Every structure is written in C-alpha cells, then in structure tokens.
C-alpha cells in the first residue's frame, strides 16, 4: 500500500456558525498551500507550535486572524505533513479559505474518513482505533463515549493482538511442518492444546460482544404483561414524563411507545407495549401482535404482574417471550400489603387472575411445570408502584444489573457488529481446528488455523480488503 500523494483538505468543524472553525490539510503540499493563506508564517515553521497568523485572499486582502499549526510528517495524525488553520467559525469565511486551497492543483477535497484512513494506511493507528474515532463522534451516551475512548486507547487492539500473535506463530509452525518436514520436525506436537487455549480465548472475547453492542446502541427494554397491570403508569414514571395514556379501561395501550433514557451512563430505549390478553378487539389484536414481535427482539423484557398473580401465571407469562431474558415485578404494590404482593395468590388462567388463592407459592419453580416437594423457592418478585414511585429506583438498578451483570459500562471494550462477525468466524474456525487436531490431518488443521487468522485480521486490519476499508470509512464524516 503506497501512501497516497494527493494533498487533501476539509473543514474539520461542523459547517455552522461557531466560535472556531478549523480547516485541515494533509499531504506533501500541506505546508506550502497552508502558507499561501497565511503568508506571515515562517517558511520553515516549528512543528506543533501555534502561530498567530493573518489569513488572506489571493490579492493579499485580510480575511481573518487565527492560529496556524504545522505537524511535520510522520509526527502527525495522518503520518503526513498536516496543517491546521483555526479561524473564526464563520461558514462563509471557511468556504472562502477552503476554495482558495482547492485552487492549487495538488489539492483535492477529502473523502469521508480520509484523514483517519491515511492514518491507518500509514501505520499510525490500527483499524480498531480508526473505528473508535468514528464511534466516538457518533456516541450518544456517556457509556458509548467511554467505550469509544477505550477503543481509541487501544484496549481492543491489545486483546486482539494477544490472540493474533500466538495464532500466527501456531500457523507458522504448522505450515513449517507441512512444507519443511525435516527442519520443522516436532513443531506441531503441542498443536492440540495450543488450539484449545486460543479457542477459549476467542470465545471469551466473543462473550463481550453483546455488551459492546449494548454500549454502542444502548439496550432495549420492554415492559409487558397482562392488560391493566400498570405498565404505562410505570413507563411514565421511568421516563419521567407523561408519555403514555393511562386509563382504568383494559387495553388502553395499542401501539408500542418508546422513549430513550440514560441510566448510569448507559443508553436505554424503553418500550411500553399493549397488554396481552386473549380475545381482544381487532385493533388491539394488532397491537398485541406487535408486542410479541418486539418482545422477541429486545435485550430484556420486564414482566409487570398484578399483585395477585400466581407463580404459575408468572411462569406462563415468562414463556411468552421466547429467548429474551425476563425480569418479573409486581406492580401496583401500593394497593396491597407487602405480605400479599408478590406472594402469588392463585388463579390458573393468566388473563383471569383472581385473588382466590391456593397457597402454592414456593412450590413451583419459575420455569413452570409441577415441582417436586424439595423445589427451591423462586426469588420474591420486586414490588413497584408506578403511581407512588415505590421500588422504581430498585427496578432501574435491577434492569442495569441484568443487562450488565456486575460490570460497569466503561470497562467494556467497544465491539461493533463487524467485529462481532469476524470474531464469530475466528472462534468457529478455531472450533473446527480443535476438532481437526484430534481427528484429521495436519493440512486441515493448518487450513482452519489460517482461516481463523484471516478472520481475526479483519478486526485488527492486518488482512483487510480495499472494499472493506471503503465501507468502513464511509461512515465517517468529512474532515475526520
């Protein structure tokens, strides 16, 4: 990959009025072109020194006064000569300055992400860091900012390298034995345990992928349960405003409502859904169908039950959501004494909950089905009241704990869908390699290890195609 020779230019600040507007040039002609706009700056300026400069038009007329910074290759963000002009943030002025630089035939406008791309091509940063730059710009919660910053500092790159280097060594050993059996004899002896260790490391990295997505996009959490359980009231309380309609009539909510909140720095999209019941009206049935689709897609479903709901009912409701994890709470807890709420009364049909109870609590596990006499007690359901706010803080904490385990968002290295996919292929290839190390030939084993290495290289950037780079840098803004 030869370094591109065109000098590129772009506004590095948003094209709106602001205190400061920055014009950035990168490439061999950066200094000369930059100095044409700021002729007062010495011919050989000190790198990384801020010069107070006058910016002029082609005829020498003064346009603005600002700062001139020069970064000499390779000690710059892109690894090339870089010049930054910091002018006042007038969009019109900045367009004038930009147009002047483009009059020079050696200069062309930068493509989205091209500065960062050059930094990557010149070996200044690896791909995980380049992508973290885009993540940071796009971050919309504190956790996303912190995670992108962790990516930027190379946290993910470090983890990838720790896997990639031994993997590459193993691949080299195996290929050595295959190609030069005499010289490399015995280098494949411990291939089995080495593959196994690498595989478990790859699996561990993969396990963090889901959390990375939570940081980047925020978590999706839906309230669901029987009609009239108090879901919308609780939703409003969690969101902090009267977003959802609340009424004593069952079936009030039809369309799912969503609201974005930030809890402990983690972005959470919260959904209020149509209460589920059998034999609803036609429109309500449409809402119920949507609720089911949504429940299958969210990261966590919060089941809001009326105080009198039994353990069997809770179990049957939990089965509504498929594989989505469920947190069960007892709503309207202000309406009943603590001893009853959450203790599960009776009733068999889930839509026909009544308080006519049989004392079954504690004998049926949450997974449903009849239990033996020694079955463990299910955990007591947390009690909340959307009306009074009781238990709502605790609910928020439980939701975060369920989403995060005990970890803090900032400790998680950001992993994108692209990384997730590459890591999945790495782990799968290593799984097949492990199998091959037991039952197959050295060729097959080495082939799988090679595939794992290639997939992993897509994360670090050691094996990455131009086409992939194009797609990646598309999502950057111009000037980055």
Ligand X SMILES: Nc1nc2c(ncn2[C@@H]2O[C@H](COP(=O)(O)OP(=O)(O)OP(=O)(O)O)[C@@H](O)[C@H]2O)c(=O)[nH]1
Binding site for ligand X (CB under 6 A): 227-233, 246-248, 250-253, 275, 331-332, 334-335, 385-387
SS (H, E, C) 280-339: CCHHHHHHHHHHHHHHHHCCEEEEEECCCECHHHHHHHHHHHCCCCEEEEECCHHHCCCC
Binding mask 300-339 for Mg ion (x = CB under 5 A): ----------------------------------------
Of the pair 252, 410, the CB lying nearest Mg ion is at 252
CA 122, CA 67: separation in Å to the nearest integer? 27
Of the pair 275, 461, the CB lying nearest ligand X is at 275
Of the pair 183, 249, the CB lying nearest Mg ion is at 249
CA 303, CA 168: separation in Å to the nearest integer? 48
Of the pair 246, 478, the CB lying nearest ligand X is at 246
Of the pair 306, 479, the CB lying nearest ligand X is at 306
CB under 8 A, 24+ apart: contacts of 386-389: 386/230, 386/231, 386/232, 386/233, 386/234, 386/235, 386/236, 386/237, 386/331, 386/332, 387/230, 387/233, 387/332, 387/334, 388/334, 389/237
Which residue, chain included where needed, has tokens 């870089």? 82
Query: Which of 116, 232, 310, 426 contacts Mg ion by CB under 5 A?
Result: 232
Does residue 80 contact residue 67 with C-beta atoms inside 8 Å? no
Q: How far is the CB of 226 from ligand X (least distance, A)?
A: 7
Residue 217 lies near Mg ion (rule: CB under 5 A): no
Reported as type and span, the H/E element at residue 87 is strand 82-89
Q: Is 208 annotated as ligand-binding? A: no
State the number of CA atoms in the 13 A half-sphere of 184 facing the CB. 16
Of 172, 171, 173, 160, whose CA–CA distance to 201 is shortest?
A: 160
Count of residues binding Mg ion (CB under 5 A)? Answer: 4
Q: How far is the CB of 243 from ligand X (least distance, A)?
A: 11
CA 110, CA 289: separation in Å to the nearest integer? 48
Choose from ligand X, Mg ion, none: what does 251 bind? Cβ within 5-8 Å by kind: ligand X
Using a 10 angstrom Cβ sphere, with 0-12 exposed, 13-18 middle and 19 or more buried, the burial of residue 459 is: buried
Q: Is 231 annotated as ligand-binding? A: yes
Q: How far is the CB of 26 from Mg ion (least distance, A)?
A: 55
Q: How far is the CB of 316 from ligand X (least distance, A)?
A: 17
User: 3-class SS at 117?
Assistant: helix
CA 207, CA 261: separation in Å to the nearest integer? 25
Residue 253 lies near Mg ion (rule: CB under 5 A): yes
Which residue, chain included where needed, has tokens 């940063």? 125
Of the pair 232, 385, the CB lying nearest Mg ion is at 232
Q: How far is the CB of 386 from ligand X (least distance, A)?
A: 4
Q: Is 332 annotated as ligand-binding? A: no
Contact window for Mg ion (CB under 5 A) among 28-36, 91-99, 229-237, 388-396: 229-237
Of the pair 255, 428, the CB lying nearest ligand X is at 255
Q: How far is the CB of 306 from Mg ion (least distance, A)?
A: 13
Q: How far is the CB of 251 from Mg ion (least distance, A)?
A: 8
Q: Is 250 annotated as ligand-binding? A: yes
Q: Is 230 annotated as ligand-binding? A: yes
User: 262 φ, ψ to 5°?
Assistant: -125, 115
Q: Is 274 annotated as ligand-binding? A: yes
Choose from ligand X, Mg ion, none: what does 66 bind? Cβ within 5-8 Å by kind: none
Q: And the tokens for 111? A: 């493509």
Binding residues for Mg ion (CB under 5 A): 231-232, 252-253
Residue numbers in the known binding site are 24, 84, 124, 228-233, 247-253, 272-275, 480
Residue numbers in the known binding site for (6S)-5-formyl-5,6,7,8-tetrahydrofolate are 24, 84, 124, 480
Residue numbers in the known binding site for GTP are 228-233, 247-253, 272-275
């Amino acid at each position: 990959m030869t370094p591109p020779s065109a000098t590129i230019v772009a506004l590095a600040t948003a094209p709106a009025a602001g205190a400061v507007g920055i014009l950035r040039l990168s490439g061999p002609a950066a200094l000369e072109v930059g100095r044409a706009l700021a002729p007062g700056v010495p011919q050989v300026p000190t790198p990384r020194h801020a010069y107070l400069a006058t910016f002029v038009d082609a005829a020498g007329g003064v346009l603005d006064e600002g700062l001139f910074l020069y970064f000499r290759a390779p000690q710059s963000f892109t690894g090339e000569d870089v010049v930054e002009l910091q002018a006042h943030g007038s969009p019109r002025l900045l367009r004038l300055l930009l147009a002047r630089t483009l009059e020079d035939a050696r200069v062309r406008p930068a493509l989205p992400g091209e500065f960062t791309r050059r930094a990557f091509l010149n070996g200044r940063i690896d791909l995980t860091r380049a992508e973290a730059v885009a993540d940071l710009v796009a971050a919309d919660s504190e956790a996303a900012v912190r995670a992108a910053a962790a990516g930027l500092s190379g946290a993910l790159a470090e983890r990838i390298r720790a896997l990639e280097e031994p993997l590459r060594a193993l691949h080299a050993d195996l290929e050595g034995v295959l190609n030069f059996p005499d010289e490399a004899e015995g280098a494949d002896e411990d291939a089995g345990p080495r593959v196994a260790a690498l595989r478990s490391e790859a699996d561990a990295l993969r396990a963090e992928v889901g959390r990375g997505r939570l940081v980047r996009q925020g978590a999706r959490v839906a309230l669901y349960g029987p009609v009239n359980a108090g879901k919308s009231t609780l939703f409003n309380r969690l969101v902090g405003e009267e977003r959802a309609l609340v009424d004593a009539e069952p079936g009030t909510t039809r369309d799912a409502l969503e609201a974005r909140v930030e809890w402990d720095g983690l972005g959470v999209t919260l959904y209020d859904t149509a209460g589920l019941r059998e034999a609803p009206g036609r429109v309500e049935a449409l809402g119920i169908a949507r609720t089911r689709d949504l429940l299958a897609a969210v990261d966590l479903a919060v089941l809001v039950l009326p105080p009198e709901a039994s353990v069997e009912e809770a179990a049957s409701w939990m089965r509504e959501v498929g594989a989505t994890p469920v947190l069960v709470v007892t709503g309207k807890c202000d309406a009943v004494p603590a001893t009853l709420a959450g203790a599960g009364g009776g009733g068999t049909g889930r839509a026909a909950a009544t308080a006519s109870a049989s004392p079954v609590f504690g004998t049926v596990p949450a997974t449903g089905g009849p239990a033996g006499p020694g079955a463990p007690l299910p955990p007591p359901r947390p009690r909340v009241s959307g009306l009074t706010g009781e238990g709502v803080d605790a609910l928020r904490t439980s939701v975060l704990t369920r989403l995060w385990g005990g970890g803090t968002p900032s400790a998680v290295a950001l992993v994108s869908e692209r990384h997730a996919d590459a890591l999945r292929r790495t782990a799968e290839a290593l799984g097949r390699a492990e199998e091959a190390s037991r039952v197959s030939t050295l060729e097959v084993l080495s082939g799988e290890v090679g595939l794992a290495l290639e997939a992993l290289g897509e994360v670090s950037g050691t094996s990455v195609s131009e086409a992939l780079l194009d797609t990646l840098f598309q999502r950057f803004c111009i000037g980055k």
